[in-house]
Structures are given as C-alpha cells and as structure tokens.
Amino acid sequence: MVFQCQDLDDLKDQLGKAGDKLVVIDFYAMWCGPCKMIAPKIEEMEAAMQNVVFLKVDVDEAEDAAQEYNITAMPTFILIKNKNKVSVQDLTLVELEPSWQKIQPVFMSVNFSGCGLDGRQPR
C-alpha cells in the first residue's frame, strides 16, 4: 500500500528513508476526479516496482507539503532522487529501466482535464 504522508515532516522522513531509490510523490485531493481515477494504478505500480518508492500527499490535509512543492493542480506527480526533485530528463536510462516503461503508460492513459484550470473543483 502506498504510504500516506501526513505533513511535510512526514514526507521529509520518508524521503530520507528512501535513500537513493527513485521516489514518486502523488499530490492529490479527495475531491479530485482524475486523482481517484489514477489511484488504483499507483497502487498497482507500487506493488510491482520494488525499486521505486511511491508516496501520497493529500494537499488539503498536508498543506505545508503542498506549499513546499508549489502544488497548484491535482494530481501532480513529483519525482525525487536522493532528496532532490528531478525531471525525467535528469535520470539515466539505467535508472529508468524498467521502471519508467511501467510508469509512463499509466500517466499517459489518464485524462487529467477534470480538475479545472488550477486543479481545484468547486466544492
């Protein structure tokens, strides 16, 4: 099961525990339709990919973590390597294989247009 970070301190603790593994942080909101659509896929990837750490952050519950990473739309996925934010271009093919081949199609298959321009739906 993907670890649910309660706040920024909890997230930082989990990033420290991840060591040099690739970390995928899923910033989501309970009211976000696309977040709900991709959640089972994230769980499947977490179970299948032992060399990648998956973390979830509810932006409404862990506002400090969302603010730290400047999250304005949900879902937002941040990649971390050695406690540093990285882009896919920053990772070598050795680090991405076979993990990225499994992750990329999942992100490409979900329509993220349901959360509005800034990622927040009216409540």
Per the residue annotation, which of 35, 62, 80, 115 is the catalytic one? 35
Amino acid identity for residue 17 in this structure: K
Backbone angles phi, psi at 48, to 5 degrees: -90, -15
Tell me the C-alpha distance between 5 and 92, whole Å: 27
Per the residue annotation, which of 32, 52, 55, 74 is the catalytic one? 32
Bond preceding residue 40 cis, omega within 30 of 0: no
Per the annotation, the verdict on 32 as an active-site residue is yes
Residues identified as active-site = 32, 35
